[in-house]
Structure 1
Amino acid sequence: MCYSVDEMRVLREDYRRTLLDEIAPFWVRHGWDREHGGIHTALNEDGSLIDSDKSVWFQGRAAWTYSTLGQAYGAEGDWTRLAGSCLSFLREHCRADDGKLYFTMTREGRPLRMRRRYAFSESFACVGSAAYAQLTGDERAALEAMAYFERYLEVMRTGGGVEPKVEVATRPMKGLAPQMILLAMAQELRADLGDVTVGGATCTQWIDRVIDEVETAFLKPDLQALMEVVGENNEVLDHFDGRMLVPGHAIECAWFILHEVRVRGGDARLLKLGLTILDWMWERGWDREFGGMLYFTDLKGLPVQEYWAEMKFWWPHNETEIATLLAWHLTGDESYARKHQQVREWSRKVFVDTKGGGDWFGYAHRDGRISTRLKGNMWKGPFHIPRMYWYCEQLLAERLRR
């Protein structure tokens, strides 16, 4: 199949309407803490609050989401105010004395948990601040975005960006996640602040460095896989953690690379790399029996140690939906349009709340039965889903303009 002009118009309108009428309003209406600032994400299916503790990385994520939507669709008052509220909560409450961001806070802003070797709170504070600066012209937010970027680099240099699962002296390893988050940070910083120099390199230089590391360290052509972790010499570690693949994560990395092709107006090497990762990890992740993307798979096809390995989570489907549509946009290859339709239809059938109320459910069993009816927690909130709707709508609008 190949999307016709009329089909693209219908699809674009569906992305736009669902985002603006259902997804974005849900979190403004139910998540925004107008009393203490910032956003709650632990919400039940009707939007009622389940837990008042706050995820620090979602303060940055929500700031990015609503600032980006403001840039795309007009800076509606609530969107701008919510984004600013999240950044103010970060600034006023979430920093330790040494500047490191906490991981979770109480509703009022008292610290609950710090993860010293974990820098993803900083990464999303960076992109949220940059997007808010672009939306509002807030110079303080722009400077804070640069500072958060520097802090992220510092944590990566000293600890790798994630908390180790084993003694690093016994089994040193490095992960894909810190690299791909750095890639996304640099892309967002460049989009909002320009190709600024931070940490001794421009955003584009950081992007090129990360992509080279992904290709040389984590991509294994002989195994047709993008590894989640490798040893310090880029070797495959034949253990549970070393063999574990995360197809949704890898496909997210693929579309970051393909996005760079889109930004640069073409790049044959990067196009081939992004498509290769997408193709290989689709084959390793798509569930041929029940449909949908498996969360974890094993490099050798062996059982995975995590008991929830075969569950279906919302976000790998969001990332795969973006990746397949972007791949079709860049190549015109009908196989990617078919994959896009396939993942889109499966995720709508499973995760969409047919009773209404806004947003998706996030967690399903392998056969597609919903496992919990909450709409958010410390890891699920206004990010992957609205980012997908926004990116796909913008992509189709670009395609239709041609």
Structure 2
Amino acid sequence: MKNTFSILASEYRTMLLDNVLPFWLEHGFDQEYGGMLTGLDRDGALLETDKSIWFQGRALWVFSEAARQFDKRAEYQEVCTSLVNFIEQYGFDPSDGRMYFRVSREGKPVVKRIRYIFSETFAIIGFASYSKAFGKEEYATKAYDLFQTVLKALNSSDILVPKSMRSSRGFGVPMILLNTAQELRDACPEHAQELNLFIDGLLQEIEQYFVRDELEIVVEQCSGNGLLELEHFEGRLLNPGHAIEGAWFIMREARYRNNDATLMQLGTKMLNWMWKVGWDAKNKGIIYFRDALGKSATEYWHDMKFWWPQCEASIANLMAYSLTNNKQYLEQFLEVDQYIKANFVDSEYGEWYGYLHHDNSLSTP
């Protein structure tokens, strides 16, 4: 098995460093205006000139981590510097310090989603990783300061005006804040105690409101006071990839806390439930949406296979195996690995396909 892992590690390293990242350096890196172009066809042709601010922060994290964990190639530092400059120059609304959702290729504001804090959270993890990869301590400080902006927004109902008149809670916010706080803690060890306490609150919120033992599911939404909303589409919505992502964030926290048994149990329980819900036993792959009661789902793409839930399932199962040595997780990891390589890897143009139908046929040729 040790030899198998060595082979797999080599395969994924090659896929990342010689396939995926070069695709984005060649086709996505905007040498003219800076930052990263985010709407590309499978051959790298430009489909959309507007730029997602989410993607700028995420790309900064990816290339910073590649530099930090593999080697500091000149092209990685070049693209990271461009991304940092683009985010700082064009990502923020100077009137309130909040971030835009989408900007033009040149950086002019296009969309600002004031109810959401995800542009900020992805910029935080990007700044944090950049600071570690290149010794830019000032960006750890900027990440921490932006985190304070997020907390202020979350605690101000006049800033994050609720989308619905019906009081509700969403899984996505505490889940992504958990990952954000973990990344920030690595970059700002002087704030570890504060961030540990913050993470404690997020873990409690996730377990109390979204991990539902009575149905053995992780819901995406519940009422403001924590009740299931099974009479509504939103209340029955299950997103297996999202829940599995949250599961490995929790397992990561368990590992950070010396293999904390309670957190290991919580994370693996979430993975077990949502693997059962999301894995397509017939055609393989993680399905995008399910209904908590097995009823018809309202989203028209509910039975598709997107690329990212497969990534989350791969990471979560491998992490669960590393923590528990339970061979069930190893078998599930290998099943996802084989599925990805058979269906998502684009052997002609490189990178991966983004979207498959339920039967694994390509959504967009």
Asked if Structure 1 and Structure 2 have the same fold, meaning a TM-score greater than 0.5 normalized by the shorter chain, the answer is yes
Alignment of 1:212 onto 2:210: no
For residue 72 of structure 1, the aligned residue among 64, 69, 78 is 69
Q: Tell me the distance in 1 between the aligned counterparts of 2:190 and 2:20.
A: 31
Residue 67 and residue 295 in structure 1: after superposition, are their counterparts in 2 closer, same or farther (change >3 A)?
A: same
Equivalent position of 1:317 in the other structure? 310
Larger CA deviation: 138-147 vs 241-250: 138-147
Look up the SS of the partner of 1:158 in the other structure.
coil
Q: Distance in 2 between matches of 1:326 and 1:81?
A: 32
2:127 counterpart of 1:113: no
**Which residue in 2 is equivalent to 1:166?**
164
Q: 1:385: which partner in 2?
A: none
Q: Which residue of 1 aligns with 2:290?
A: 297
Equivalent position of 1:342 in the other structure? 335
| Structure 1: distance between partners of 2:258 and 2:17 | 29
Equivalent of residue 235 in structure 1, options 222, 227, 242: 227
Q: 1:41 aligns with which of 33, 38, 46?
A: 38
Aligned with 1:174: secondary structure? strand
| Moved segments of 4+, more than 6 Å | 160-163
Q: How many residues align?
A: 363
Q: Which amino acid aligns with 1:67?
A: S
Aligned partners of 2:302, 2:161: CA distance in 1, in Å?
20
Distance change (3 Å), C-alpha of 1:160 and 1:174: farther
| Counterpart secondary structure, 2:40 | coil
2:218 alignment partner in structure 1: 226
Matched to 2:184, the amino acid is L
Normalized against structure 2, the TM-score is what? 0.96
Q: 249-258 vs 154-163, which deviates more?
A: 154-163
Paired residue for 2:8, among 2, 8, 11? 11
- RMSD across aligned positions (CA): 1.6
Is the contact made by 1:134 and 1:193 (CA closer than 8 Å) also made in structure 2? no
Contact 2:140–2:184 (Cα < 8 Å) also in 1: no
Q: In the aligned structure 2, how far is the partner of 1:331 from the partner of 1:195?
A: 31
Cα gap change, 1:55/1:365 in structure 2, threshold over 3 Å: closer, same or farther? Answer: same
Distance of aligned partners of 1:161 and 1:175 in 2 relative to their CA distance in 1, 3 Å threshold: farther
The percentage of counterpart residues that share the same residue type is 39
Match of 1:180 in 2: 175
Q: Is the 8 A contact 1:83 1:132 kept in 2?
A: yes
Residues 195 and 203 in structure 1, CA contact (< 8 A), matched pair in contact too: no
Residue 395 (structure 1) aligns with: none
Change (3 A) 1:316 1:161: farther
Pairwise CA distance, 1:140: 2.9
> Does the 8 A contact of 2:238 with 2:290 survive in 1?
yes
How far apart, in 1, do the equivalents of 2:351 and 2:28 lie? 12
Describe the shift of the 1:318–1:38 C-alpha distance in structure 2 as closer, same or farther (beyond 3 A): same
SS in 2 for 1:34: coil
Native 8 Å contact 1:115 1:163 kept in 2: no
Q: CA deviation at 1:255?
A: 0.3
Structure 2: distance between partners of 1:294 and 1:51: 27
Distance 1:187 1:80, change over 3 A: same
Q: Deviations over 1:271-293 (max 9, x none)?
A: 10001000001111111222111
Indicate if the aligned counterparts of 2:317 and 2:332 stay in contact, CA closer than 8 A. Answer: yes
Q: CA deviation at 1:244?
A: 0.5
- The one-letter amino acid of 2:167's match is P
Q: In structure 1, what is the Cα distance between the partners aligned to 2:237 and 2:287?
A: 12
Match of 2:243 among 238, 246, 250: 250
2:195 aligned residue (203, 215, 225): 203
User: 1:112 aligns to what SS in structure 2?
Assistant: strand
Q: CA deviation at 1:261?
A: 1.8
Match of 1:29 among 10, 26, 31: 26
- 354, 357, 363: which is aligned to 1:362? 354
- Indicate whether 1:193 and 2:191 are aligned: no
Q: Secondary structure at the match of 1:320?
A: helix
How far did 1:161 drift? 9.7
Matched residue type, 1:175:
G
Q: What is the alpha-carbon distance in structure 2 between the residues aligned to residue 34 and residue 129 of structure 1?
A: 21
Distance 1:176 1:221 in 2: 16
Is the CA contact (8 Å cut-off) linking 1:173 and 1:230 kept in structure 2?
Answer: yes
Q: Give the distance between the partners of 1:161 and 1:254, measured in 2 at CA.
A: 29
Larger RCO (alpha carbons 8 Å, 6+ apart): 1
Counterpart AA for 1:122: E
Other-structure match for 1:138: 136
1:12-37 deviations in Å (ceiling 9; x for gaps): 11111111111111111111111111
TM-score w.r.t. length of structure 1: 0.87
Give, in whole Å, the separation in 1 of the partners of 2:204 and 2:190.
Answer: 19
Cα deviation code 1:50-74 (max 9, x no counterpart): 1111001111111111111111012
Q: Does 1:285 align with 2:278?
A: yes
Shift of 1:163: 7.6
Is the 8 Å Cα contact of residues 118 and 161 (structure 1) preserved in structure 2? no
SS at 2:222 equivalent? strand
Tell me the SS of whatever aligns to 1:50: strand
Q: How far, CA to CA, are the matches of 1:6 and 1:163 in structure 2? A: 53
1:162 Cα offset (Å): 7.7
**Deviation of the 1:154 alpha carbon:** 2.0
Q: What's the counterpart of residue 255 of structure 2?
A: 262
2:152 to 149, 154, 165: 154
- State the secondary structure of the residue aligned to 1:276: helix
Matches within 5 A, 1:382-393: none
Match of 2:265 in 1: 272
TM-superposed deviation, 1:165? 4.9
Match of 1:329 among 318, 322, 325: 322
Please identify, of 310-319 and 149-158, the stretch whose mean Cα deviation from structure 2 is larger: 149-158
